[in-house]
Structure 1
C-alpha cells in the first residue's frame, strides 16, 4: 500500500464542502491507496473526516498559521496509525520543518514544495527573525528527498542556495474544461473591463491598480473589478472612493468567476510579491491578455511582449501605459492571447500536469 500524508498550514472546512483545494486532493489521491491531509481546523477542536480514499485530519487553529509549527507534530500520530510511507509538505517552514525532522528519525521520504520566493527573501534579510526562518527553510530544502519548483526560474533560485537539492519542476496547472471561453475575437467592451483576482493584502499591489485606473479614467472609459476579499478591503475601498467604475468583491464561486472573466477585456496581476499565481494561467486559458509584474518567478512563465506584458511592481505609470498599449494595439492583443492560450494547452493543462505530479510523488518512494 502507498499511503501519503499531505501537510498544509491552511485552514480547511469539513470534507463535505467543495472548494478548489479539495479538487486538487481528489486528483492527486488517484495515485494512492490512502491520501491523508493534515491541516488547521476553523475552530479550536480536532476533527477527522473521510471520503473515499481521502482522510482529512484537522488540528485546532489556535491563533494564526504560525501555531502550526507546534500542532504539526500531530503528524507523528497519523504516520504511525495509518502506516504513512510518503509525506508531501506545502511549506518548508510550517509543517515542512517538522516533516523533515521526522524523516531523519523514521526514514520516511519527504516531497517538499516551494510555492513562493518569500523564502529567498529571507536568505538575504539581516533581521534576526528572518535569519532564523531562513535556517528553518534551508533545513527543509537540504533534507527533503525531493524539492518541487514551480518553474525553471524558481529551480535555478533553489540550486543557487543549495546545489545538491534534488529539484523537480512541476508547474501550476489550469482546468481548461472549466476556464474556457466562447470569445471569437478581441473586440473591447464599452466600458473596457479590467479584472484582477487575489486576496486584498498589500503584497497583491491593488493600491497601484486603483491609482492607475483612476488616472486612466481621465482618458478612457474603463472599469476595474477586484475580486478576493481580505483585510485591506476597507482601505482599498477608501482609495477608490468617488470612482463608481472601480468595484471590490469578496471571493466568488468558480462558475461566477468564469462568467465575470468572460466579460473581461484585460487581466492584471499587479503583485509586489508572488509565487506563480494560478489566476494568471486561468486568465490565459480564458483568452485574456495579461499584464503582470516583474516579481518572483512570474517572468519564468510570462515573457514580456510574447504571452503577456510585464511591468515593474508599484509603478502605476507603467501599469497605466501597458493597459493603454493593449487598448490601442489590436494586433498585439491578438498575438498575446494566441501565444498565451497555446502555452496553457501545451504546458499547464490540468490532466497532464497532474499526471506528472503524481508520477514524481510516486518516484520519490523508489
Structure 2
C-alpha cells in the first residue's frame, strides 16, 4: 500500500549521492508512516545542494521504501501563476498509483495534493501543524497580511471537509480549524525518554552559585516572528541589574541585523550567536548549558524547541500564542513583543531559587507527556484510521 505525504518543506538534494537531506524531516520520521504503509512518496519543494555544501547539520531523509517527487514552489502569487499547471501535472503523476494522501497543512503543496486527490477520487487526510493566519500576518511584509485571510479561509475549508485530521495541539488548532471528520490530537514533536538524572542535574544547577546567567533561544535568523528582537531588548533592560546576564541564540541565517540591534542597545558583548548544530543530542547538550529558555515568538504551532527545553528541566518563558499555553502556566507567559514583562520574569526568577526549582520540576514532568513511547500510541491510532479509510475507499465506501 502506497502513501503520498505532501508538504511545502524544502528538501536538500545531493546530486552526487542521489540522497535527500532535511533538518526537520529525517528518515526516522518517515519510518512512522512505514509501520502502516510499505511505500511512500514525499511530494515537496527541493533545492539542489552546492558542491561541498555542509550536510552535517542536516539529517538524511532518504531511505528504503521512500521516494521523492519534487514540485516547484507555488507559495507566492507570481509562482502560483507561473508554476501551478506544472505542479498539478507532477502531482497527478505522483498520485497516479498512490492509495492515499496525507497533506500536512498549512502548505500550498499540501492543499494542491488534496485538490488533485479529489479529482482522482483518492482518499486523503490532514495533519494540521500551525495557525496560518499568524504565520502570514507576521511574515514581515504587506503581501503576507493581504494573503492571511485568503489562506486561512482555504485551510479552514479543507480541514472542515477532511475525513481525518491529526492536530498537533490539544485545543488551540481544534478551536481555530474545526472538522466534521475524525479528530486525533498528537504532537509532531517527540523526545526520547529522558532519565531522571537530567532533572537532578538541573535542580543542582539551580541552587549553585553562577558566574553567569545564560538565557537561550532557538530560532532561525531569517524568521521575523521568532521574537529575537524581544529577547535582545529584554536583556538590554537587565544589563545593569543583572551584570552576569547573557543571551545565546541557536539558529541559521544572517545575524547582521540582530548584532546591529544588540550593539545599538549596548549589549553587543552579551549576545552570542551560536549558528547551526545537528539536532538531537547536540541540541540537548546546548540546552544543558543555559539557565533559562525563552520562546518570545509572534506565532507558533506547538514549538519543538520549547518542549525539548522543558525536557531538560529548564525554566521557560514564552509568548501567549498558538499552542504554547498548553505547555506553560499563565505565570510564565507574555504577550508577543512585551520585552518589559519578559525582563521582569527574568529578574524574578534570578532572585527566587524556590520558583526556579518549581518550574524545573513542572516543565520536566510536562515534557514527559511528549516522550516517544507516549506519542507512539496516538500516532498509531491516526495511522490505523488512515489505513481504514483506504480500505473503505477500495470497497467503494468513500465518495470522492
Change (3 A) 1:92 1:191: closer
Match of 1:266 in 2: 292
Is 1:146 equivalent to 2:164 in the alignment?
A: yes
Alignment of 1:1-366 (within 5 A): 2-14=1-13, 15=19, 17=21, 19-22=23-26, 23-43=28-48, 51-60=63-72, 67=79, 70=84, 72-73=87-88, 74-80=90-96, 83-119=97-133, 129-158=147-176, 162=178, 164-177=180-193, 181=198, 182-185=201-204, 186-187=206-207, 189-200=210-221, 201-220=223-242, 221-231=244-254, 233-241=255-263, 242=266, 243-254=268-279, 255-305=281-331, 309-345=332-368, 347-366=369-388
Which portions of structure 1, spanning 4 or more consecutive aligned residues, are displaced by more than 4 angstroms?
Answer: 60-69, 120-123, 125-128, 177-180
**Distance change >3 Å, CA 322–CA 72, structure 1 → 2:** farther
Deviations 1:173-228 (A, max 9, x none): 33235898354522363211110001122211111110110121211111100111
CA shift for structure 1 position 4: 1.1
Give the secondary-structure state (helix, strand or coil) at the position aligned to 2:105. coil
CA distance in 1, matches of 2:347, 2:365: 24
Structure 1 residues not aligned, in runs of 5+: none
Q: Within 1, Cα distance between the matches of 2:48 and 2:73?
A: 6
- Distance in 1 (alpha carbons) for counterparts of 2:186 and 2:274: 31
Could you tell me whether the CA contact under 8 Å between 2:103 and 2:127 is conserved in 1?
yes
User: Runs of 5+ in structure 2 lacking a partner?
Assistant: 14-18, 50-60, 389-400
After TM superposition, give the deviation of residue 143 of structure 1 in Å: 2.6
How far the C-alpha of 1:66 sits from its partner, in A, is: 8.3
Q: Kindly indicate whether the alpha-carbon contact (under 8 Å) linking 1:155 and 1:168 is maintained by their aligned counterparts in 2.
A: no
Question: Aligned-pair distance for 1:121?
Answer: 8.1
**What's the TM-score, normalizing by structure 1?**
0.85
* Aligned position for 2:52: none
Query: 2:163·2:180 contact (CA, 8 Å) conserved in 1?
Result: no
Aligned alpha-carbon RMSD (Å): 3.0
Deviation at 1:131, TM superposition (A): 3.8
Q: Distance in 2 between matches of 1:344 and 1:195?
A: 18
Q: TM-score of the superposition, structure 2-length normalised?
A: 0.79
Offset of 1:50 from its aligned partner? 5.7
Do the aligned partners of 1:11 and 1:40 also contact (CA within 8 Å) in 2? yes
Aligned residue pair count: 351
Task: Please identify, of 246-255 and 64-73, the stretch whose mean Cα deviation from structure 2 is larger.
Answer: 64-73
Instruction: Give the stretch that moved more between structures: 321-330 or 182-191.
Output: 182-191
